[in-house]
Amino acid sequence: MMSFLLVESGSIILAIAIFCLLAAIGVVVAGSINNKMKHSQDVLKGGKFEGQVKVNLHKPYIRAESFRFYNALQRALPIEYIAFPNVGVDNIVKPAGDLVAYKAISGKYLDFVIFKKQGMEPVGVIDLVDPSVTLSSIMQQDPVITKTLKTINIPVLEFTVEDNYNEKEILARFLDSQDPYTLAMLKKGVESKKFDRDYYGDDEN
């Protein structure tokens, strides 16, 4: 009987010893992994990557259908304004509340954004839509983005893809979307630009 108890006691002690050993190994491994992750994050935050990132050229930057509209838009806008294609939402707005809700639109792109040259203030967004049902169709802008932009008084104008565009119509719709003060400032005369004009320079005398 005594031998049985000794054997049983020895088995319990051995089991406890094995458990403690495994627990100690687990703590050491977890600490090592945590240190490596922390070091990796520190490198990403403050370090400088010296290696080479594997990438492919993203082409074309803007599709032919969009570029055709872009040309018409640039010609139609008053000389005080300039438009850029494929502008990130993050470049014209910033969160003012719930970050979770903001992530629903951050990281997405707008077809075209119109800026006032003086101060580069965004004054309008254009959503170009291809009504044809094809795999390459230009899709409509996310309604959440449209609603959000309108709450901060950035008008969103929707145009459909066409073979030819009426520049006077584009101009009229843009002006209709602007506030009375802006229209008053432009009342002296709206000059239609030639496409080869220097959009980035000062206004011509």
User: Is residue 60 reached through a cis peptide bond, with omega within 30 degrees of 0 on the bond before it?
Assistant: yes
SS3 114: strand
Give the model's confidence band at 195: pLDDT under 50 very low, under 70 low, under 90 confident, else very high.
very low
Instruction: Say if residue 114's pLDDT is above 60.
Output: yes
Share of the chain above pLDDT 90, in %: 34
What pLDDT does residue 14 have? 67
| Average pLDDT over all residues of the chain | 78
> What is the distance between the alpha carbons of residues 113 and 156, in angstroms, rounded to a whole number?
9
Give the model's confidence band at 130: pLDDT under 50 very low, under 70 low, under 90 confident, else very high.
confident
Instruction: Say if residue 69's pLDDT is above 80.
Output: yes
What pLDDT does residue 194 have? 40
> What is the distance between the alpha carbons of residues 189 and 70, in angstroms, rounded to a whole number?
23
Instruction: Say if residue 111's pLDDT is above 70.
Output: yes
Instruction: Say if residue 117's pLDDT is above 90.
Output: yes
Domain boundaries defined on the chain:
1-51, 64-186
For residue 82, the cross-strand partners are 115
What pLDDT does residue 198 have? 46
Instruction: Say if residue 103's pLDDT is above 50.
Output: yes
pLDDT digits (tens, 9 = 90+) for 81-96: 999 999 999 899 988 8
Task: List phi, psi (to 5°) of 2.
Answer: -60, -40
